[in-house]
Amino acid sequence: MENNKKPKYIFFGTPEFAAIVLKKLIQSGFPPAYLICNPDKPTGRKKTITPPPTKIVAEENGIPVLQPEQLDPNDFKKLGSFDFFVIAAYSKIIKKEIIEIPRLGIIGVHPSLLPKYRGASPIQSSILEGDKETGVTLFLIDEKVDHGLIMTSSKLKTENLKLNYLEMQRKLAELGGQLLVQTLPKFAEGKIKSRPQDENGATFTKKFTSEDGYITPTDLEKARSGADPALAGLIERKIRALNPEPGVWTIFYEKRTKLLEADLRSAKLILKTIQAEGKKPTSPSPK
């Protein structure tokens, strides 16, 4: 920007994905003026009140944190004028009145190559589908879900990586953070030419539940024996995609058992780590 003036913006985001993006921005010399994230919440068996990952990063770097239950446009107007907002993994709906506050609009960071995998679970969906590539898209947020004009995107080849959800999340978040660092100065100067999404290629994801992670004992036996190679591949991808949340599980010896890690060898599913209810993770006996 002129006179080396950096753009002024607010960052919205709560979970680990957003924390990685935020950290990349701060390390690259682009800290936000404020962080907006969800309130602290009880976690674990002891229900310990825990701050969101983004809040921890912001406080370590002296960035003011706001944690509203509801987003009120008037509250943002009181904070001053901004070039834009950046949103990464922030679950609250952004109303038109808020979208119109920053001078240049709101940039969304989405971990897929839009318009593919709009919605709540793009990373899990890509792993489940066995995609050979995925990526991150920066787009201008409008009132529809992951629908606005595309600013830029960056691809990640995944065909031979066999990444689980947490590994994929980290790679895509780092990619998204780097893409923002490269893009924000140009965007603030009006040098980014955005384009509409191709609605013909749009696909939508859903929020996965515990029921989606259930593997019947019969299906598991087929996958482990090699009787159904396609099923073995699907279960292996499901274990990578749906752990740690909502988790993948079956019934072993009348006990609910988590399937934590698996591999494929000679078209057979090889369970590497399981965890029976009330027990510690362990390696099962080989088939």
Do 174 and 151 belong together in one domain?
A: yes
Say what the pLDDT of residue 77 is.
85
Sequential pLDDT tens for the chain (287 residues): 444 578 899 999 999 999 999 999 999 999 999 999 999 998 877 889 999 999 999 999 999 999 999 998 988 888 999 999 999 999 888 889 999 999 999 999 999 999 999 999 999 999 999 999 999 999 999 988 899 999 999 999 998 889 999 999 999 999 999 999 999 999 998 899 999 999 999 999 999 999 999 999 999 999 999 999 999 999 999 999 999 999 999 998 889 999 999 999 999 999 999 999 988 999 887 65
**Residue whose token pair is 């390390």:** 27
Asked if residue 282 is part of any domain, the answer here is no
Whether 219 and 88 share a structural domain? no
- Residue 44, domain CATH: 3.40.50.170
Residue 184 within any structural domain of the chain:
yes
Per the domain annotation, does 284 fall within a domain?
Answer: no
pLDDT at 3: 43
Residues of the domain holding 240: 210-276
Cα–Cα distances in angstroms (integers) from residue 18 to residues 24, 87, 158, 208, 229, in the given order:
10, 8, 21, 20, 36
Identify whether 31 is part of a domain.
Answer: yes
DSSP state of 115: T
Within this chain, do residues 174 and 215 fall inside the same structural domain, yes or no?
Answer: no
Q: What pTM, to 2 d.p., does this model score?
A: 0.92
How much is the pLDDT for 159? 85
Q: Same domain for 141 and 234?
A: no
Answer whether residue 41 is part of any domain: yes
- Can you give the pLDDT at residue 286? 65
Res 4: pLDDT: 57
264 shares a domain with 188: no
Q: Identify the three-state secondary structure at position 65.
A: strand
Angle between helices 53-60 and 16-27 (to 10 degrees): 20
Backbone angles phi, psi at 20, to 5 degrees: -65, -45
Q: Given phi > 0 = left and psi -120 to 50 = alpha, else beta, which region is 29?
A: left
Domain edge (last residue) among 201, 226, 256 = 201
Phi and psi based region of residue 73 (left: phi greater than 0; alpha: psi -120 to 50; beta: remaining)? alpha
Instruction: For residue 287, tell me if it sits in a domain.
Output: no
State which of 201, 236, 258 marks the end of a domain: 201
Are 170 and 227 in a shared domain? Answer: no
Answer for the pair 181, 193: CB distance below 8 angstroms, yes or no: no
- Cβ–Cβ < 8 Å for 218, 231: no
Judge whether 168 lies within some domain.
yes
For residue 251, the domain's CATH number is: 3.10.25.10
Give yes or no: residues 232 and 110 share one domain.
no
CB 118, CB 146: distance < 8 Å: yes
* Residue 39: predicted pLDDT: 94
C-alpha 61/C-alpha 55 separation (Å) is: 10
Domain count, the chain: 2
Residues 74 and 8 in one domain: yes
- Domain end among 181, 201, 221: 201
Tell me the C-alpha distance between 99 and 92, whole Å.
Answer: 13
